[in-house]
Structure 1
Amino acid sequence: MNPPVSIIMPVYNCGQYLTAAIESILKQKFTDFELLIIYDRSSDASDEIIDKYHKQDSRLRIHENRGLGIISALNCGLDLAAGEFIARMDADDISLPERINSQYNLMKKNPECILCGTWYKYINEEDKVLSEIPLPEHDSEIKTLLAVSAVFAHGSVMFRRSALGNLRYSEAKPNFAEDYRLWTELAFRGRLAVIPEYLYHYREYSASLSQRVSRELASDTAAAGMEYLSKNREFIFSVLPQLLSRENLSLKSKKQKKYFFSLVQQLGIKLVLAEYLKPGWYVFFCSLRSGQARPLFMLKYLFSLAALLLHAPGVYENIEKKLIKFKKIFFVCIRHNSGSGV
């Protein structure tokens, strides 16, 4: 009989953290799963670690995916998965013992739910907690904020295989936001949920990611978000009044409100740029995160409230001049930073 949960873990050169990642899965309270490790031939100790655990625990299934990259590995995992539910897991992160059990129980009790994440914490190379991310919990909030953020930590998600169908990660082009694009495709096939507990530790590297990769990730995430916004604009505007209502905000903790408003600000500037500038500018805008371009990136906060009120009766006339001024500032910064070689 097939296990109800398949956990997909792509592995390539993660030897330093792989043991902890595998152990965190094998020590889950929920035990009826298969751990699908899709590995490329690594130059570190990853292959030896995988082989050791494969011999020790029959729940591990391993598959070699030589030289084909992360997206191919993930798609291979989706094709091999036998479970009713599919969970993601990154080879350098940590799943807390209750994670799989909590997600499985929520999705089993709520058949309309097709994807479930959890709150998570950023940790560094020494496992020190850097920050805590208390995600929005409700379907309409998650679907709205997907326009500006992947929302979930990559490896923290569980989704329903029946909702996935033939949908796979896109291999059409280099893709630094592979999970985000899949989630935006899945979003309106059912309800999304978040468990309000810190059940996942997402590892952040201080020096190992190059500036180019960081820019590519920001650019690809921005492009995916703009595509999602253009498809679901009507829905987003229909639920915003309720999301920003005093009643809804009163239910959130101070930390939740802070995180929620940071995403709402990003949504605001995206709406301004989508409304008044070519969509490509937003992608360019989000790739400028450091150095001389940082002042330009920080401009995103200036007109977020105005953007959210764009479609409210009688408001447009009051903010039109500010938006025109914003466009002038924006293009001055573009010219300045282009001249600086950014």
Structure 2
Amino acid sequence: MKNKERNLKNQMIKSAANGLIKIIGIKRCYHYMMKYVKQETFQDSKWIASAVGGAGIERELIERKYFDNMIEMEFEGKRFYAPEGYEKYLTNLYGDYMQMPPKEKKSGVAQRKNMVEVENNIPEISIIMPVYNSETFLYLAVESVKRQTMKEWELLLIDDGSSDASGRLCDAYAKEDARIRVFHQENQGITKTRNRGIKEARGEFITFIDNDDEFVEDIMEKSCSYAKKYRADIVKFGYRVEEDFPNGAKEVRDNCIKQQLIITREQCGEEYQNIYRSGYFNMIWNGIYRRTLFEDKKLMFDESVIMGYEDWIFNNQMYLIPKRQVIMDYVGYIHYQRYQHSTSKKFHPNQIEANVKAAEAEYHLLRRMNQEYGTTFTWVLRATDYLIDILFLFERRGCNYGYRDKKKALKWVRSQKVFRIFHKKEQLGNLPKQRKWMAVLFDRQWYMILLILADLYYKFILWKKLRK
């Protein structure tokens, strides 16, 4: 009897898997389902959460009782069998894009009235989320916005030509919450997509979130409150990084200043080192920005940058513009570095040029602070940081550069103005011994040795992380 019941349940799972594939076309659902069939773990229907790929979806798991009976379903002329209640689950999750009307639909007049009210109510903050092929994790990112304790926000979902179900999911979210606006465009890259969001934003403040990350639930309320209390143009907060590795290991680390800082433009020079260590310059999504900063200074993201370092360039250009800034001693953002999904783990040839642009932006910032505020920052140490980043780019997933390609890239980097400082022997005396040798190898064009040492150093760092 038990075997008969087990076979029936497995058959139900297979039918549901086939139906899900026909509806949203995600082939991996079948593999997830089959994995659970083999393990015979039908309990609590958790196979559904794994099938659609998002851990957060477990909050809305369909009750197991709905799987007692099978029903015939039809989609786009195709018929298949699935457990009773499966339709309800998918409708709750994906909304109208499956052509299933809601139970209580507002009249056209009511809908238009609702849209007018939303347009007339200017949100306190505009949250810009570029979306690209993130059907698996989009749910978590959107839900982290909807859970905010402050409700006066608008979420701009900008679908950058996604080839999966992300665009349709965005439309579904917008239909269930009038504060969410959706824009579809052909694939243009992260910088053009963020610039589109800035142009469409209506809030007093602007912030950003990646389509696979999460906000802490009270961060919008806290940061906007600080901005008003201290009349700040920028409020930055700390962030948590959750990084996973190919072997299944995971590292969690917080990047946050120890004591809150409130600085004016005149204090930017003396507080630069503390602010730099807080992670201010690395990311764009760890803060809110007064919208007038973008309008008055015409400051936008560099659209020649395709992937990586666009945040560094932007933050270095923005740093001396605000009259007052607050750096909070509070972690308000969770950044996931997933090995298979995160763009920060992938290689793109444009990243080398973007690295140099970021170096140039910081070089001009340090030079300006030395001239205007009397600081004595030296560039050579930061130049070695950027050089190490370039060497580590070659270690990223997807990099198929051979030695000749790497040599050609390093030769080009060496010819750039910001890296010519390594030609000056008197400057190298300010470096620690290990970095001094690296600078000498780079300047003398001993690239083979430099690349071998960089590869060993990268693997040593990775080994240390995996040991934790």
TM-score by length of 1: 0.69
Partner of 2:186: 66
Correspondences of 1:104-143 after superposition (within 5 Å): 104-111=224-231, 113-124=232-243, 130-135=252-257, 137-138=260-261, 139=263, 140=268, 143=272
Between the aligned partners of 2:346 and 2:147, the Cα distance in structure 1 is: 37
Between the aligned partners of 2:129 and 2:311, the Cα distance in structure 1 is: 13
Between the aligned partners of 2:447 and 2:140, the Cα distance in structure 1 is: 48
Correspondences of 1:198-213 after superposition (within 5 Å): 198-208=331-341, 209=343, 213=347
SS at match of 1:97: coil
Q: Which amino acid aligns with 1:42?
A: S
SS at match of 1:16: coil
1:46 to 2:46 alignment? no
Between the aligned partners of 2:391 and 2:195, the Cα distance in structure 1 is: 31
Between the aligned partners of 2:440 and 2:161, the Cα distance in structure 1 is: 52
Partner of 1:12: 132
Between the aligned partners of 2:285 and 2:126, the Cα distance in structure 1 is: 13
Do 2:339 and 2:345's aligned partners in 1 also have CA atoms closer than 8 Å?
no
Matching residue within 306, 310, 313 for 1:181: 313
Aligned pair count reads 288
Please list every run of 5 or more consecutive structure 1 residues that lacks an aligned counterpart in the other structure: 242-266, 275-280, 294-306, 308-315
State the 1:285 CA deviation: 4.5
Do 1:142 and 1:151's aligned partners in 2 also have CA atoms closer than 8 Å?
no
Between the aligned partners of 2:199 and 2:123, the Cα distance in structure 1 is: 15
Between the aligned partners of 1:56 and 1:42, the Cα distance in structure 2 is: 21
1:169 to 2:315 alignment? no
Q: 1:116 to 1:152 in 2, by over 3 A?
A: farther
Between the aligned partners of 2:291 and 2:181, the Cα distance in structure 1 is: 18
Partner of 1:334: 446
Between the aligned partners of 2:391 and 2:172, the Cα distance in structure 1 is: 44
Correspondences of 1:226-305 after superposition (within 5 Å): 226-233=360-367, 235=369, 270-272=379-381, 283-289=386-392
1:26 to 2:26 alignment? no
Please list every run of 5 or more consecutive structure 2 residues that lacks an aligned counterpart in the other structure: 1-120, 396-402, 407-420, 456-468
Between the aligned partners of 2:431 and 2:161, the Cα distance in structure 1 is: 58
Matching residue within 126, 150, 157 for 2:287: 157
Query: What is the aligned-residue identity percentage?
Result: 22
Max radius of gyration: which structure?
2
Between the aligned partners of 2:142 and 2:249, the Cα distance in structure 1 is: 15
Between the aligned partners of 1:34 and 1:229, the Cα distance in structure 2 is: 36
Q: Which has the bigger relative contact order, CA under 8 A and spacing at least 6?
A: 1
SS at match of 1:155: coil
Do 2:313 and 2:357's aligned partners in 1 also have CA atoms closer than 8 Å?
no
Between the aligned partners of 2:450 and 2:256, the Cα distance in structure 1 is: 37
Q: Which amino acid aligns with 2:163?
A: S
Q: 1:60 to 1:233 in 2, by over 3 A?
A: same
Do 1:222 and 1:286's aligned partners in 2 also have CA atoms closer than 8 Å?
no
TM-score by length of 2: 0.52
Q: Which moved more, 1:84-93 or 1:214-223?
A: 214-223
Do 2:257 and 2:278's aligned partners in 1 also have CA atoms closer than 8 Å?
no
Q: 1:142 to 1:2 in 2, by over 3 A?
A: farther
State the 1:4 CA deviation: 1.6
Matching residue within 307, 310, 330 for 1:197: 330
State the 1:117 CA deviation: 1.9
Do 1:219 and 1:286's aligned partners in 2 also have CA atoms closer than 8 Å?
no
Over residues 57-80 of structure 1, what are the superposed CA-to-partner deviations in whole Å (9 max), with x where a residue is unaligned?
111011112222222211111111
State the 1:196 CA deviation: 1.0
Partner of 2:221: 101
Between the aligned partners of 1:79 and 1:114, the Cα distance in structure 2 is: 18
